[in-house]
Chain A
Amino acid sequence: MIQFDMRYIWLIPLLPAIGAAINGLLGIRYFSRKMAGAIACTTMTLALGVSLYAFWQLLGLPNEARAFDVVVAQWIPSIPLATRGGIGMFQAPWGFRLDPLSGMMILVVTGIGTLIHVYSTAYMHDEPRAGVARFFCYLNLFCFFMLMLVLGNNFLVMFVGWEGVGLCSYLLIGYWYEKKSAADAGKKAFITNRIGDWGFVLGVFLIYSTFGTLDFRAVQNAAAMMPVETMHFGVLSFICLFLFVGATGKSAQIPLYVWLPDAMEGPTPVSALIHAATMVTAGVYMLGRNAVLFSHAPYVMTIVAFVGVLTALMAATIGLVQYDIKRVLAYSTVSQLGYMFTAMGVGAFSAGAFHLMTHAFFKALLFLGSGSVIHAMAGEQDMRKMGGLKKHLPVTFATMMIGTLAIAGIFPLAGFFSKDEILFRAFVANKAIWVLAVITAFMTAFYMYRLMSMTFFGGYHGPAWDADPHAHAGAHDDSHGHGPWHGPHESPTPMTFPLMALAVGAIVAGFVGIPAAIGGGNSIEKFLEPSFTAQEVRLKPDTSLQADLAEHEESHVSVNVERGLMVFSLAVAIIGILLARKFYVTSPEISDRLADQWAGPHRVLSNKYYVDEAYDATVISGTFGAGRGLWTFDRRVVDGVVNGSGWFTIVSAWFSGLADRTVVDGLVNLVGRICEEGSFWFRKLQTGLVQNYAMWMLAGIFAFVSIYLFMR
């Protein structure tokens, strides 16, 4: 009975797809703003309902049996294709898989997606009617692809979602396509993602050629049978490396993170949904999905961990000095994604997935809050022109404060549990990574509180407004957002409601993962564990991975160390917040003085380590140079050959024409001339006088008769 219900999980991605189709085909032309928003929100809410029901059914199953595959239809029929072990049958179904990991992901995507759809109805209120429908069409389409990505049961379905979310990201970043910076940012995001996708595709090719299948479960089971590549860099390591290249593109890690800060050109709900909560976590999800493969490639795991923690540190340092409110959050996202990869890299797959979930809540909250601030400031994003907004935006302030405390890792908010789990696992695995991660945690607390201070505390630095209270009151009504700006004001209910809902999420989401050290059950780890191990391994406990885990348990540091680490990281976060409070609230002159004192490093950070410039100078100008070189080759050599053959034809045609004119025409004219000259004499015989002819006749007859008579 339960299985029967789960057969309909394909409805979850289908519903947003229907919404996108309706809005795309009819909405852009016919629907009002309200109608388009209502359709998008309805489909998302239905998808959320189906997801919740499916998840509830999943919880009803015993822990080991929580995996369900549904094949909707055959996609690619069996094709014989060469693999490493002979000819295999390549085939891919439209298959969906619900297991703990994808169950958690669909809840995040549909849950936060629904809230952001609701938020968007108010945020996009001032856009042109057709633009709103287009926006909701893209947003729904994104949710469809994202759900395909997380629900697919083989690499090809996942790849469809993977490419689709990239496309929607491009469309939504470039939503205001008349603005050059937005169009450029969209292109940058898409092209950078393509570089990552190249790695992902190579990984998928290698997986097929190694295992002869693309089904997640089959690949996991096959990989679990292979030895762990501790001593050499074998085929599994290459697969994982290629997949990780794909993840760096989608999840904005070094060296492909540059697109994410620029992606803030898109509307703020897009930044919240795609570039904070869901799409950018696709890389983390993909790593988790292939946890068995990665567990067998320890070298790549080390690479993942270091890339993750370095990205986290680098992005956090840049975030310290940015002034654009959304850019601070963008770098914060890159940094937090780095945390997730660190977790994946040290083998704490469930900790990474847990952080993914909590981060989705508080980062979506922070982005929507910043959207609310930007909305209140009539499009202003520079934090230097804000300040003192606390009294104007009480709800936004309160919810964003919760988000800030959550991301900083203050007990007992969501970020504390997930971040602490990662820090603890990093401490166990590698002390260097742990040190870098703690520094990042300190910076996270600092720059987030800096953001809050510059935006909500202190004096107001923005433009003045008409202080007429009646006009101000009018701005809250349905004429909201139109006419002259009446100063910062709290956002309407459709925007504040998602903020409050997400704030609740940011508070309670961590409670599913309270570690055992402080008396919790860490239920999320137990819940997610089956997704990260192969079926065979679970059935036969004495295989190598399980042995590793057992050994790991032995080297488990004591509970007291774990508690100590928690207190330490909490202290670090509090120090960061207090320092930011001192620098930006109580004595703001300190920060200016420090900026002057450390002008050089400050400039480097403000310019984001000159990474964009470096890419411009190397990769981009290299590509352009190569293109220009090929163009020169084209012009000189290829065009030269073509022009040469053309020139040769012209010359030979000239000679051929000469021969035609002299020889052929000469012969024809000669014949004509002969006829003309000859006829000059003969035509004189044609006198036209009958008697003349008769006389010649007579003469002839006379002559012939004479010859007859006398010559005989």
Chain B
Amino acid sequence: MITPTHYMLLSAALFIIGVVGVMVRRNIIIIFMSIELILNAVNINLVTFSYQLHNLVGQVFAIFVIAVAAAEAAVGLGIILAFYRNKESVNIDEMNLMRW
């Protein structure tokens, strides 16, 4: 029997993978994908509690998150493309123009 606890464990695992990915990887594409993982971990949590509490607000919220993620993906990819055209690279360590 799969309980909400299992869902939450899955969600936590996904979240940690995403965070670690954001922190340690140098490729911006990978970091971007990790952020998607974090968002989806949240989505799983939302849907789980919606099911358990018989409240549809959580599911509606999840759909909102997906929509925002899609928009964010479009903007983020645009930025990455622009960056790549300038630097011929997708290495995050080279994005340091705002430093003192």
A residues contacting B by CB (< 8 A) are 683, 686-691, 694-695, 698
Minimum CB distance partner of B99 in chain A: A688
Q: How close is B56's CB to chain A, nearest CB, in angstroms?
A: 28
Inter-subunit contact B92/A688 (CB<8 Å): no
Inter-subunit contact A691/B22 (CB<8 Å): yes
Residues of A within 8 A of B95 (CB): 688, 690
24 A–B contacts from the bound complex (CB under 8 Å): A686-B98, A686-B99, A686-B100, A687-B96, A687-B99, A688-B95, A688-B96, A688-B97, A688-B98, A688-B99, A688-B100, A689-B92, A689-B93, A689-B96, A690-B92, A690-B95, A691-B24, A691-B31, A691-B92, A694-B22, A694-B23, A695-B23, A698-B19, A698-B23
B residues contacting A by CB (< 8 A) are 19, 22-24, 31, 92-93, 95-100
* Known interface pairs A688-B100, A694-B22, A698-B23; 6 further A-B residue pairs with C-beta atoms within 8 A, sorted by A's residue number: A687-B99, A689-B92, A689-B96, A690-B92, A694-B23, A695-B23
Q: How close is B76's CB to chain A, nearest CB, in angstroms?
A: 13
Minimum CB distance partner of B96 in chain A: A688
Q: How close is B86's CB to chain A, nearest CB, in angstroms?
A: 16
Residues of B within 8 A of A691 (CB): 22-24, 31, 92
Minimum CB distance partner of B92 in chain A: A690
Residues of B within 8 A of A695 (CB): 23
Minimum CB distance partner of A690 in chain B: B92
- In the complex the two chains form, what is the Cα distance from A695 to B100 in whole Å? 19
Minimum CB distance partner of A685 in chain B: B100
- In the complex the two chains form, what is the Cα distance from A689 to B99 in whole Å? 8
Q: How close is B25's CB to chain A, nearest CB, in angstroms?
A: 8
- In the complex the two chains form, what is the Cα distance from A686 to B96 in whole Å? 9
- In the complex the two chains form, what is the Cα distance from A694 to B32 in whole Å? 13
Q: How close is A227's CB to chain B, nearest CB, in angstroms?
A: 111
- In the complex the two chains form, what is the Cα distance from A695 to B20 in whole Å? 10
Residues of A within 8 A of B93 (CB): 689
Q: How close is A287's CB to chain B, nearest CB, in angstroms?
A: 105
Q: How close is A682's CB to chain B, nearest CB, in angstroms?
A: 9
Which of A686, A691, A695, A698 has the most chain B CB within a 10 Å cutoff? A691
Minimum CB distance partner of A683 in chain B: B100
Across the A-B interface, give the 7 residue pairs with the lowest CB-CB distance, nearest first.
A688-B99, A688-B96, A686-B100, A683-B100, A686-B99, A690-B92, A691-B23
- In the complex the two chains form, what is the Cα distance from A484 to B69 in whole Å? 124
Q: How close is A643's CB to chain B, nearest CB, in angstroms?
A: 57
Residues of B within 8 A of A694 (CB): 22-23
Residues of B within 8 A of A683 (CB): 100
Q: How close is A19's CB to chain B, nearest CB, in angstroms?
A: 95
Residues of B within 8 A of A689 (CB): 92-93, 96
Minimum CB distance partner of B24 in chain A: A691
Minimum CB distance partner of B25 in chain A: A691
Minimum CB distance partner of B98 in chain A: A688
Q: How close is B93's CB to chain A, nearest CB, in angstroms?
A: 6
Q: How close is A694's CB to chain B, nearest CB, in angstroms?
A: 6
- In the complex the two chains form, what is the Cα distance from A686 to B31 in whole Å? 20
- In the complex the two chains form, what is the Cα distance from A362 to B82 in whole Å? 120
Residues of A within 8 A of B100 (CB): 683, 686, 688
Residues of B within 8 A of A687 (CB): 96, 99
Which of A687, A689, A690, A698 has the most chain B CB within a 10 Å cutoff? A690
- In the complex the two chains form, what is the Cα distance from A695 to B92 in whole Å? 14
Q: How close is A691's CB to chain B, nearest CB, in angstroms?
A: 6
Residues of A within 8 A of B97 (CB): 688
Minimum CB distance partner of B26 in chain A: A691
Residues of A within 8 A of B24 (CB): 691
- In the complex the two chains form, what is the Cα distance from A694 to B34 in whole Å? 13
Residues of A within 8 A of B22 (CB): 691, 694
Q: How close is B79's CB to chain A, nearest CB, in angstroms?
A: 12
Which of A686, A687, A688, A695 has the most chain B CB within a 10 Å cutoff? A688
Residues of B within 8 A of A698 (CB): 19, 23
Minimum CB distance partner of B97 in chain A: A688
- In the complex the two chains form, what is the Cα distance from A683 to B95 in whole Å? 17
- In the complex the two chains form, what is the Cα distance from A695 to B31 in whole Å? 13
- In the complex the two chains form, what is the Cα distance from A519 to B31 in whole Å? 151
Q: How close is A457's CB to chain B, nearest CB, in angstroms?
A: 120
- In the complex the two chains form, what is the Cα distance from A690 to B23 in whole Å? 9
- In the complex the two chains form, what is the Cα distance from A4 to B15 in whole Å? 131
- In the complex the two chains form, what is the Cα distance from A43 to B31 in whole Å? 116
- In the complex the two chains form, what is the Cα distance from A687 to B97 in whole Å? 10
Q: How close is A524's CB to chain B, nearest CB, in angstroms?
A: 118
- In the complex the two chains form, what is the Cα distance from A503 to B7 in whole Å? 153
- In the complex the two chains form, what is the Cα distance from A683 to B19 in whole Å? 26
- In the complex the two chains form, what is the Cα distance from A689 to B96 in whole Å? 6
- In the complex the two chains form, what is the Cα distance from A691 to B97 in whole Å? 14
- In the complex the two chains form, what is the Cα distance from A690 to B92 in whole Å? 7
- In the complex the two chains form, what is the Cα distance from A386 to B63 in whole Å? 140
- In the complex the two chains form, what is the Cα distance from A694 to B99 in whole Å? 15
- In the complex the two chains form, what is the Cα distance from A688 to B98 in whole Å? 6
Minimum CB distance partner of B19 in chain A: A698
- In the complex the two chains form, what is the Cα distance from A691 to B24 in whole Å? 8
Residues of A within 8 A of B92 (CB): 689-691
Minimum CB distance partner of B95 in chain A: A690
- In the complex the two chains form, what is the Cα distance from A688 to B100 in whole Å? 8
- In the complex the two chains form, what is the Cα distance from A694 to B38 in whole Å? 14
- In the complex the two chains form, what is the Cα distance from A512 to B90 in whole Å? 135
- In the complex the two chains form, what is the Cα distance from A683 to B98 in whole Å? 12
Q: How close is A361's CB to chain B, nearest CB, in angstroms?
A: 112
- In the complex the two chains form, what is the Cα distance from A690 to B26 in whole Å? 10
Residues of A within 8 A of B31 (CB): 691
Residues of A within 8 A of B23 (CB): 691, 694-695, 698
- In the complex the two chains form, what is the Cα distance from A694 to B96 in whole Å? 14
Residues of A within 8 A of B99 (CB): 686-688
